[in-house]
A and B are shown apart, each in its own frame.
Chain A
């Protein structure tokens, strides 16, 4: 399946906001040092673009939650001139600063937000030295799986071909995670709606894909592993509604082409 070139900037932007930036709550759950940083950042933070895309997070006591709707009031609001502008910032290229609509009088909050984004980048794009720590590698994999299901959601919602593929096939709840761990990344397709998240599942999944170790999960997420061979050898376990996994697998392989994480 090919990448939709025409919609590429918009879909990338949606992924950056709704998959990468929106993984801050999960980062705070996973990483104590990030929680400490977030305690200095109380309130509502919004990232928005002229195209109408936006993500809002409510941060309180070192934890964060995503807000479904754009709040009327925010403590920090950063507005981007275009989808490409967001993409350039997340790709760490370009020099055009976004417009600070709210928060200009709270430099401490802005500093905290910048440090939190730094933590996020360190976890999502770690260096080899950091990955040598098994504990850090686990955090990286958890967060990457979370980003992956959120990015899948964006793709299914915004790319006509991806949406048609998922609508034409099996639907249900899918879990992605490490074998033996209760917390998983999940994605639910039901009645044309797609939702996702990370945490304990409240119901048995219709399909699941589990990695036997974190290094393999990393390699799969980077699309540099023969997945079918690893399933055959038992290093990746699959069960349940395999056509659903198959369709999502086809979309998963596209994620690295959109996201540079």
Chain B
């Protein structure tokens, strides 16, 4: 570990703001945006502005944004059609005593377009929806247990949080893990808890941090679904990370399953705070009995933005474009690994790619690579999958590959 501060003048204003923040905000910056989770001293901490597929930090450095706000920016920063819809709604009002008509329109859009959805509810964050979906499953089945995949992230609420603070044993007493793509481990949990199992919560593919992304092996998801049906447990799809980037009808269509409940957030409103849970008709009475509200949960501006975002996603078949552009990046990264004799592992769908180095179990090489890429002008994460948006072009990906090429070249000589 270097003795001299790696922090160059490149991030001085970020550090100045952070020092102010640290005196009034626990951790300075908390959650997944915390420097602790990214690259302390070797990454920007604060953003100033953004447009399209790029953003600028508070020091004036510009980045090709390969994290897209950790997912919400699916069309591009400050996309005109979305901003106009939001602005129109803002002018006539946002937070009323009642829902606005746009809520009905949005629910109609989602139930029409999401495969298998008969109804929809709204929240503000992904955690709101995964927790509520679990409650609906418990209400419907009169059972307590939830099975989830080990290492899968389902939010910040006590039953799900990967954090350690403020928890008591009971918070996770009815949440049990099985291993992705391991039906034996899944069956063991079914045998242990089947009679009391309210639901199994899965993601369309496994996207843990500090690991490769993994597609389901042949028959895995189908078998999970089949067993849920057999024992009367619900299948909940947490599509918060991938939803609408793979398929505007929901990622379950892409991976071939039919969940009972589907949770969305991130890409739904291009950066405006909206989350949603869609479900099948049989669950509607139970869903109506599970209390759901929040001070801003009927906020009309976010819903107007969501409706505009979803319309663009479908009209312009954005998932197809993301797959095409992302493939340029993924194939380019594989080639760079060979060129520099630094074998890489490229994983995940092209719209949400991730790359790390072979033989780098402690991520030291990965952390160095990402720090160099940030210096070169790409923002990407060393430990978390990346996100593309519709504003990214194939030329942007070639630009990124040029910066990655230079970074790997420097690493070869270190």
Contact = CB atoms under 8 A, between A and B. Distances in A.
* Co-complex (A, B): yes
Interface of A: 1-2, 161, 165, 168, 170, 172, 179-180, 204-208, 210, 226, 228-229, 231-234, 237-243, 246-247, 249-250
B41 A242 contact: no
Given A239-B367, A241-B210, A241-B363, 9 more contacts: A179-B1, A208-B1, A228-B28, A229-B22, A232-B28, A234-B7, A237-B1, A238-B36, A247-B164
22 contacts: A1-B164, A1-B165, A2-B168, A2-B169, A172-B361, A205-B362, A206-B362, A228-B36, A229-B22, A229-B26, A231-B35, A231-B40, A232-B27, A232-B29, A232-B34, A232-B45, A234-B7, A240-B363, A242-B37, A242-B383, A243-B209, A247-B164
B364 A240 contact: yes
A206 B361 contact: yes
Contacts of A210: 1
Interface residues of B, number: 35
B164 A229 contact: no
Contacts of B104: none
B18 A233 contact: yes
B22 A226 contact: yes
Interface of B: 1, 3, 5, 7, 15, 18-19, 22, 26-30, 34-37, 40-41, 45, 150, 164-165, 167-169, 177, 209-210, 361-364, 367, 383
Given A1-B167, A241-B363, A243-B210, A229 B3 contact: no
Given A206-B362, A242-B383, A179 B3 contact: yes
Point out which of B1, B29, B45, B169 has the most chain A C-beta atoms below 10 A from its C-beta.
B1
Given A179-B1, A210-B1, A233 B36 contact: no
B22 A242 contact: no
A233 B15 contact: yes
A233 B1 contact: no
A158 B347 CA distance: 38
A207 to B, nearest CB: 6
Nearest to A232: B35
A249 B36 CA distance: 13
Contacts of A170: 210
